[in-house]
Structure 1
Amino acid sequence: MGGGYGIKITRPNFAAAGCALAAMDLGRPVRMVMTMEANMEVFGKRAEVFTTYEAGVDDGGTIQYLKADLYENVGSSTNDPNGDLALSGIKNCYDESKWSVIAKDVRTNTPSSAYMRGPGTNEGIASIEYIMEHIATVVKKDPTEVRINNIPKDSPILVLFDAIKKSGDYDKRRTSLNEFNKANRWMKKGMSLVPMQFDMPYFGSFHAIVSIYGGDGTVTVSHGGIEGGQGINTKVAQVCAYILGVPLDLVSIKPSNTLTAANDIATGGSITSESCCYVSH
């Protein structure tokens, strides 16, 4: 677990086989800890993306049309495709009604890439935010103003923008930075306010069994998610304690198994903790 985040979904067998062999030879549990460099060499790394685009904007930087093509380098195989995920990322929180975007997975003669945190989504958001910065430079506007101009007027993101600008004293600090940069040729300062919207589609299924023991009132839970450091076991225990009205120390989480959680989907997509909490309550 860990390291490459999404890699655990599609490529866990390399580490599992190594640990199993060592455990069999040593007769004891084995945990494998790898450096990030070794992790990428063995399992792969995030796909590179090459984005071409053409945009037309008004004087305020509001996009009137945008044509963008994203090419995801998945390496020698399409084990972990990113194209569709990149499409969900590039729209971010902006008005995409005048956009035409295509994303394609491209096979090359390089090692196969692998899912990393926010696969495809990360590359898509990076692409559109680069475009927003480019637009701001051309129309000579504050990038934050350009971003706000391209967000739908009914989006809750605008409320967050306003709150952060006020709490961070954005306008005053931006004016100060501009004055500093004008007065200093070689040293520059910068500040950026960048939104991010991550779509969370619920897919697959999760199961749980909750057992309540009448003798002492203790509760055990076995769910279909995998604890990988994200705190899913703690969350599930807290939800059960709250719903049942018992102290948290009376609730314990038992190991996941395919008897009580058959056919559950992979732990990923930032949905597993919430799904297991929901099914356990």
Structure 2
Amino acid sequence: MPLTHLLLGGLVVRASGVALGAGMLHTRATNSRAHLFLGAESSFEAKLRDFAPAAELPTVRGELVRLQNQLQAAIDEQDFAAAAMLRDDITELRNKDPAVMSSLLKEQLQDALAKEDYKQASALRDQMLVLRRFLPQYQLAGLWKGNYPNHGEELVRIHYEGDTLYATKVTGDLHVPAGEVTFQADLSQPFDQIGRVGANALEEASGVRVEVVSLSSDGSQEQREVEQFQGEGRIAAVNFQHAHFVPGQLFLMDEDVLGFLWLPLGTFIVFSRVHEENECSPAAAAAAAAAYGQSATHISMDLDGDSRYE
């Protein structure tokens, strides 16, 4: 069973174990004329059944990046036969990713609104609401446990308002008390669609490099894509004085592990999910979450040396 590790500034932190199904990806589409999403040949509901499980989406996306690089190389070498086969493979993989359909639906919605076709726009909005059930960023509601610098383990509850994710503290501290939002994120677009910050740029901005690697039982390593979203993290002095939000970023490591980076401070906290059956009380939830052990370890760096804010 592969182990997911988080690399922060060259340090490795075990985040969570994720089993990725073998044989999930085909070498190419069985039909060389594989259709794009939203084609007339198949219904919206039928396309939903083609999606890969949430746990396998990072592998799908990593493989998609690899094939796209191979396609560009084939085009540069004018190997058009190989390019055609790679395009089929890419189409098949795109059909497995609900984020691709989400982007297409958003484009169609904008076109419908521009044409004042409100009936079509309403139908597209309905489809987008259904599609949320397949997008990992909308499956995070509930209780989570994270280890805050200088304060230790705290519980937060995640909920949504439209396309905005809010994490509200269940157990507070001297800086940000219970009942206050500790971070929030805009889920309307993944970070790479609005000007993705690469590893080098992120290091320059915060001094922290975030990278997720899957380690197999044989010791082999494989980098995988991590979905990222722009957000804001709250910081405050003692007694919630001078509370304000600073730029941040949400990282989805897997369905039970996420991270949030307070960019100006370079503080990165990993949160592990506390499952619904263990939510009877904060104390019980914290005890149950302890089963994760060190999987919820955090690494933080306060770049400006000011420990008043958490």
TM range (shorter): under 0.3
TM-score, L = length of structure 1: 0.25
User: Per chain length, whose mean CA-contact separation is higher, i.e. which structure has more relative contact order (CA < 8 Å, sep 6+)?
Assistant: 2
Structure of greater Rg: 1
TM-score, L = length of structure 2: 0.23
Structure richer in strand, relative to its length = 2
